[in-house]
Structure 1
Amino acid sequence: MTNPKRYLITSALPYANGLKHVGHLAGAYIPADIYVRYLRAQQRDVVFVCGSDEHGTAIPIQAMKEGTTPQAIIDKYHEAMKQDFEDLSISFDIYHRTSSPLHHETAREFFTNLNDRGELEKKESEQYFDEQAKTFLADRYIKGTCPNCGNENAYGDQCERCGKSLSPDELINPVSTLSGSAPIKKKTTHWYLPLGQHEDFLKKWILEEHKEDWRPTVVGQCKSWIEGGLQPRAVTRDLDWGVKVPLADAEGKVLYVWFDAPIGYISATKQWAIDNNKDWKPYWQDKDTKLVHFIGKDNIVFHCIIFPVMLKLHGDILPDNVPANEFLNLEGDKMSTSRNWKLEMRDYINDFVKKENGGGAMVDALRFYLTHIAPETKDSEFTWKGFQTAYKSELMDKFGNFENRTLVLMHKLCGGKVPVFHNELIDDDDKQLITDITTCKDTITKLLEEYKFRDALAEVIDLAKKGNQYMQKKEPWIVAKQLETNPEVQKQIDNCLHLCLQLTGNLAILINPFLPNIAKAIIHKLKLVDRVLEWKNAGSMKLLSVGYSLREPQLLFRKLEDAEINEQIEKLKAGLIKAVEPVKEQPKEEAAPKAEIQYDDFAKIDLKVGTITAAEKVPKADKLLKLEVDLGFEKRTIVSGIALHFEPSAIVGKQVVVVANLAPRKMRGIESNGMILMAEENGKLKFVNPDETTANGSGVS
């Protein structure tokens, strides 16, 4: 969209169930803040909204872990996250929350609008139900074995080991996390968004209209979803925590969090409008508004497929772009809250920001590094040594060094005042630096408009590097040695430092979207007012007036000592060790006997003797073996989670007892037709097999 009247910028709503790490910061918040600060510098009409996502099962689960209430959890983490964002100079116009009455009202109105117009489908389905807890189970309240990698602690919506998205029906041996018992299937009614009816719209809008201007990762993921066939998505859930469904026949149901959360962008805009005596509607309903969502790649489907369908049906504008970032890893491994392998924003703030006088430089040091390694096109990695190296070689040695040398030499060689520029002495080096200053703005503007923040930042640093090279070539400190015998060389010094001072002012403007605290520190020393940071002033060679006195130089950046970097590395390792430290084994209690059954129940199980004729490991599944079992009357393929206990070659020829009438189940793309009976003793598995060789296919009774 060219020349929009206004901009609405959103960052993904973080779950209010814990503190957030720097991976979140790099993915959705710093890129959005850079873009917003750039737009504000252009004097654009822009609103930057975000807020805490305070519904969904993650909240009550965290409340159970901490022994408190869901309300106490969201109150605690909403305030904590809001403060962390402020401490790291993320400049939201509003940081709202989805527990607010205004949001509940907005979400219910949205649902009612779609439902009254017949855009939602009401369907009966079977859902897992915990008979002991007397409640339907949301996906996160169900655990079982992942069919993809064999992880025995996979959730009903995702396996946190292999990252695969799941449904509860795919889990092997599912159990309720509330009671520990196996759930049953029970009928329930829900409302669905029929995504399949909107495939043509999505194909045209994404795969044709935005094929070139959206990131390939975003288009590729959308293409995969659309071409795989879109299925109806439930928009309600059987829960007692969330936005109540506004229908008489929906007792005990709330809006599903993926439906409710993105509406939080709208309710946040409404609250901002109330607070500022504005009209919120143009930001969501006027076609001249440019809507941009900043997210991580795990949120692509919600912001590019589901929410746009909702917005289209509701009559609102669609996002102009969704510049999703890839993931940020940490010291060679994926960040993991459960394994405590993470760098929380709060930890960085406590260790580097609050210990500093003001702390702005160390805030910008983190903003710089996370932009420098931004995972815009592929996963990237945060390392403490990498942070230290980039900080020194880029910020200190190039950017900070140029700014400091310029001010030190100006005070030493020009009496602390901006020197005059002598046009009659201009040379090719002067002309080249002037060209670099006046043209850099266009390059950086283009990159920012294309959401290439990493490249844009590199251009600013490179301009400082060119300033260093220019000063090194001119050597005003050497030229100054000739002043006693040749006072005319002062003009050469004047020209050099005049251009370097103008470049320093330009660097403040250009670095401002990325490092706002450093930009403010520079213009303070140059005695420039805040409005000089407006984007229109970039490229000007008249930022500083001749003869104007400037403040004394002070270093922008301090040295990062090896000891404090090593301390962070050791702290990270210690945290991981603590997180995975095995719990001391307790005396094992006898397992409680299972509920009594009748003979007719047992008689339904068809147990057969078989012989394993082949065995091999299932690729990328540590616990799974693919077995070929001869049952006499036929050969069966059975996938069994015994790979950690037996070598494949050692069990070929072994006779086993098989549950032969178990319904087929796909595991890692392989259809398993049966189950091998095993016994467990002290954590080790043993086969249940006949004492003597028995004909394959013999029944067991």
Structure 2
Amino acid sequence: MEDNNKIDRRPKKEKVRPEFPKRAVITAGMPYGNKELHFGHVGGVFVHADTFARFLRDRIGEENVIFVSGTDCYGSPILESYRKLVENGEFDGSIHDYVNGNHEKQKQTLEDYDISLNLYGASALDRASEIHEEVSKDIFESLYHNGYLEKLSTPQFYDPEYKVFLNGRQVVGKCPIEGCQSEKGYADECSLGHQYMPSELINPISALSSKKPELREVSNWYFKLEEFFEPLRELVSYFRTNTNSRKYQLNTMEEFLKKPIIYIKKSYYEEKKDIIDALPKHKLLEEEKKASITILFEKLTDREEACNILTKEGINYRTGKTLVPFRLTGNIEWGVKVPEIEGESNLTFWVWPESLWAPISFTKTYLESIGKDKTEWENWWKSKDAKVYQFIGEDNIYFYGVAQMALFMALQGKDYTIDPEEGKLRSTHLIANNHILFMDKKASSSSEIKPPMAKELLNYYTKEQLRIHFLSLGLSNKSVSFKPQVYMKEEEREGVDTVLKDGNLLTNVFNRLVRSCFYTAQKYYDSKIPEGSISDSVLSEAKEAILDYELKMYNHEFHMITYLLDTYLRNANKYWVNNMRIAEKEEDDALRKQVLIDSFHAVRTATAFIHPIAPEGCEMIRDYLNVSDKIWNWEYIFETMDFFTKDVEHHELKFLEPRIDFFAKHESQIIAE
């Protein structure tokens, strides 16, 4: 969008500005279809993804950004929740009805928080479901023909009392991974995402009979994830050196990229030395201060054989994180159907693999809905000019950072690389947030600490207050607690409510500056911005803030952006108060004009910054400024107000009535005041 009349007011010696892709897909994980959205879904992932998506629309053009997500409809958590509700007489519809009801509630909550998804689909509903089945079939067949699938007969839990195989969530025990702090281990993964074979689960109990289930052999298809050990190590090294990937998520990925290990207490080793020494080829590693010895294997098959031997001998052990075959299929009826190959029929996809490629399905669904060709999705997922940003929680790093990366390489074919040529599926860019805690404790629907529902929070705070507060928490660095005082007892409340403290930047600081500018223009200058040049210091401060903001957004440092806004807006308010006081006292119209011109530039700049964070209030400011949405376009980010007002003949500001707020407080807060 070239404009020959555009004035280049950029600094002569600028910092090197980051480069953004020409096209971008943003995803925000997939909430399970057995629940409404709690505060962690919105505050831990969706607000961050939406802020970045809105920024990119301003930065590279709305037509070049696709933001998709959807309800994860399949899998054992949904099936088990549905079974319990029906069993207890709390639900009498089909499972399809069940997930559809939750999907609609999730969708409404996201709309209430101004989450600007191009598509919020559902893996089992409507056109997205049909396309997802097609994508799943294509991916499975491609992996098979590329030689990356194997059919394995593995033990699966069976409840002899109920005479049924148990799905993943119908078995609960203790995770076998050394050092795991999970509250619950399920059939082959724990609540923290650790993967293991069912035979390794410690003290398994059936959710149906409350008794120990049996293990019976079942055939399923597995992805040969362990073959990607070295390519994944190379990929992590590449990310660490050449990208702004968060270091802690790369460290987490590397935890899985270790040789197969077994840990045995030293006391067991001394008692059973002959048996342990006779295990398949291994190395013994012993550290003085540790209570266990480490047995290191070169091959996963050797470790699995060793586990079987130790189990038969009654020797307790724990395993270390490593790459294991990634199960693609299962035998629960509620799932995406798997193509019949080698006589294996009536299988469905395990929910985790199909959720990894669901964003592709949603991208294709959206593009079809706007009339694009079937192959258009490749320009977003297979092009060097494009990038896919996936916002996830830290528990999902294994799936998106290890399994998905390997799957996508496998889909390139036998000649896969970590930096594929044009037209081949590329690795995504992960933005993994740490846990958002509730009152200093991890809360989840399956734990003792129940999280507040996202929609409930809107009974006490505005969406703008919550959005900026969630961004300020700094989840890129560490797990942080969400402590809204409305959920505290009166005697526990100390100081200012942290949600309101961050929200005040909008409802108090910025709101006051914008209103002051409009009311002054109305009172003295017939609702017009006075003509004149902006002070050099004001221009310089704005330009520095713009460059800093852009870099922080590029690095997904959302909490640093809120700090930048706090500094910039408080400086602007201080400038207004100090100088306008003098102008009014001395009746200095020249100073008043200068302060107003300068302050409108600060408003123009800050509004562009805040637009991705609190869009509704910013759109209201744009409307009252009486300018086009070109004001959001970062091609013109260094331009001043006169650049935008000249588009309107005889420009004047829209009249602002008394007591109108651009960023209003929640009605409950007004009553409390």
TM-score, normalization by structure 1: 0.73
Does the 8 Å contact 2:169/2:186 carry over to 1? yes
Name the counterpart of 1:210: 240
The root-mean-square deviation of aligned C-alpha atoms, in Å, is: 2.8
One-letter identity of the residue aligned with 1:555: D
Name the counterpart of 1:633: none
- Is 2:153 the counterpart of 1:124? yes
CA 565–216 in structure 1, closer or farther in 2 if over 3 Å, else same: farther
Once residues 349 and 249 of structure 2 are traced to their aligned partners in structure 1, the CA distance between those partners, rounded to angstroms, is 26
Q: What SS does the aligned partner of 2:358 have? A: helix
Does the 8 Å contact 1:437/1:503 carry over to 2? yes
Name the counterpart of 1:676: none
Q: Deviations over 1:356-399 (max 9, x none)?
A: xxxxxx22111111111141110111111443442464233322
Q: Deviations over 1:417-445 (max 9, x none)?
A: 21222x5xx8xxx3222211233211111
- Is 2:146 the counterpart of 1:94? no
CA 389–139 in structure 1, closer or farther in 2 if over 3 Å, else same: same
Structure 1 segments unaligned to the other structure (5+ residues): 354-361, 484-488, 567-701
> Which entry has the higher C-alpha Rg, 1 or 2?
1
Does the 8 Å contact 2:45/2:393 carry over to 1? yes
Name the counterpart of 2:272: none
Query: Please, which of 29, 41, 46 is the counterpart of residue 24 of structure 1?
Result: 41
User: Relative to structure 2, which stretch is displaced further, 379-388 or 10-19?
Assistant: 379-388
CA 153–39 in structure 1, closer or farther in 2 if over 3 Å, else same: closer
Shift of 1:328: 0.5
Question: Which structure 2 residues correspond to residues 170-249 of structure 1 after superposition, within 5 A?
Answer: 170-211=200-241, 213-228=244-259, 229-247=322-340, 249=343
One-letter identity of the residue aligned with 2:68: V
CA 365–268 in structure 1, closer or farther in 2 if over 3 Å, else same: same
CA 96–388 in structure 1, closer or farther in 2 if over 3 Å, else same: closer
Shift of 1:561: 8.2
Does the 8 Å contact 2:623/2:654 carry over to 1? no
Once residues 40 and 504 of structure 1 are traced to their aligned partners in structure 2, the CA distance between those partners, rounded to angstroms, is 20
One-letter identity of the residue aligned with 1:383: K
Name the counterpart of 2:404: 307
Once residues 198 and 33 of structure 1 are traced to their aligned partners in structure 2, the CA distance between those partners, rounded to angstroms, is 33
Name the counterpart of 1:63: 82
One-letter identity of the residue aligned with 1:130: D
Name the counterpart of 1:517: 616
Name the counterpart of 1:347: 456
Does the 8 Å contact 1:139/1:155 carry over to 2? yes
- Is 2:643 the counterpart of 1:549? no
Does the 8 Å contact 1:433/1:470 carry over to 2? no
Does the 8 Å contact 2:155/2:199 carry over to 1? no
- Is 2:430 the counterpart of 1:326? no
Structure ranking higher on relative contact order (CA contacts 8 Å, 6+ apart) = 2
- Is 2:575 the counterpart of 1:470? yes
- Number of residue-to-residue matches in the alignment: 545
- Is 2:591 the counterpart of 1:492? yes
CA 565–314 in structure 1, closer or farther in 2 if over 3 Å, else same: farther
Once residues 221 and 102 of structure 2 are traced to their aligned partners in structure 1, the CA distance between those partners, rounded to angstroms, is 31
- Is 2:561 the counterpart of 1:456? yes
Does the 8 Å contact 2:253/2:398 carry over to 1? yes
Name the counterpart of 2:344: 250
Does the 8 Å contact 1:502/1:544 carry over to 2? no
One-letter identity of the residue aligned with 1:239: I
Does the 8 Å contact 2:441/2:449 carry over to 1? no
CA 404–323 in structure 1, closer or farther in 2 if over 3 Å, else same: same
- Is 2:35 the counterpart of 1:35? no
Does the 8 Å contact 2:465/2:500 carry over to 1? no
Shift of 1:294: 0.8
Once residues 393 and 4 of structure 1 are traced to their aligned partners in structure 2, the CA distance between those partners, rounded to angstroms, is 34
Once residues 326 and 461 of structure 1 are traced to their aligned partners in structure 2, the CA distance between those partners, rounded to angstroms, is 23
Question: Which structure 2 residues correspond to residues 479-628 of structure 1 after superposition, within 5 A?
Answer: 479-483=583-587, 489-541=588-640, 542=642, 543-544=644-645, 548-552=652-656, 554-559=660-665
CA 519–132 in structure 1, closer or farther in 2 if over 3 Å, else same: same
Q: What SS does the aligned partner of 1:227 have? A: coil
Q: Deviations over 1:484-514 (max 9, x none)?
A: xxxxx21111111111112212221121111
User: Relative to structure 2, which stretch is displaced further, 259-268 or 281-290?
Assistant: 281-290
Shift of 1:149: 9.0
Name the counterpart of 2:302: none
Once residues 112 and 665 of structure 2 are traced to their aligned partners in structure 1, the CA distance between those partners, rounded to angstroms, is 21
CA 464–96 in structure 1, closer or farther in 2 if over 3 Å, else same: same
- Is 2:156 the counterpart of 1:137? no
Once residues 483 and 239 of structure 2 are traced to their aligned partners in structure 1, the CA distance between those partners, rounded to angstroms, is 38
Name the counterpart of 2:548: 443
Q: Deviations over 1:222-281 (max 9, x none)?
A: 111112431212111121110122115333421111111112111111111211122222
Once residues 108 and 504 of structure 2 are traced to their aligned partners in structure 1, the CA distance between those partners, rounded to angstroms, is 31
- Is 2:382 the counterpart of 1:269? no
Q: What SS does the aligned partner of 1:295 have? A: strand
Shift of 1:345: 1.4
Once residues 323 and 467 of structure 1 are traced to their aligned partners in structure 2, the CA distance between those partners, rounded to angstroms, is 32
Does the 8 Å contact 1:413/1:493 carry over to 2? no
Q: Deviations over 1:514-539 (max 9, x none)?
A: 11112112112222222322222323
One-letter identity of the residue aligned with 2:353: F
Once residues 483 and 184 of structure 2 are traced to their aligned partners in structure 1, the CA distance between those partners, rounded to angstroms, is 29
Once residues 272 and 454 of structure 1 are traced to their aligned partners in structure 2, the CA distance between those partners, rounded to angstroms, is 31
Does the 8 Å contact 1:6/1:289 carry over to 2? yes
Once residues 172 and 227 of structure 1 are traced to their aligned partners in structure 2, the CA distance between those partners, rounded to angstroms, is 22
CA 271–549 in structure 1, closer or farther in 2 if over 3 Å, else same: closer
CA 368–209 in structure 1, closer or farther in 2 if over 3 Å, else same: closer
Once residues 581 and 465 of structure 2 are traced to their aligned partners in structure 1, the CA distance between those partners, rounded to angstroms, is 30
Shift of 1:325: 0.4
Q: What SS does the aligned partner of 2:398 have? A: helix
Query: Please, which of 410, 418, 425 is the counterpart of residue 317 of structure 1?
Result: 425
Q: Deviations over 1:540-583 (max 9, x none)?
A: 223446972332152234456887999xxxxxxxxxxxxxxxxx
Name the counterpart of 2:492: none
Q: What SS does the aligned partner of 2:430 have? A: coil
Once residues 20 and 561 of structure 2 are traced to their aligned partners in structure 1, the CA distance between those partners, rounded to angstroms, is 21
Does the 8 Å contact 2:205/2:212 carry over to 1? yes
CA 132–253 in structure 1, closer or farther in 2 if over 3 Å, else same: farther
Shift of 1:146: 6.0
Q: Deviations over 1:431-473 (max 9, x none)?
A: 2222112332111111111111221232233221111121122
Name the counterpart of 1:573: none
Shift of 1:38: 1.1
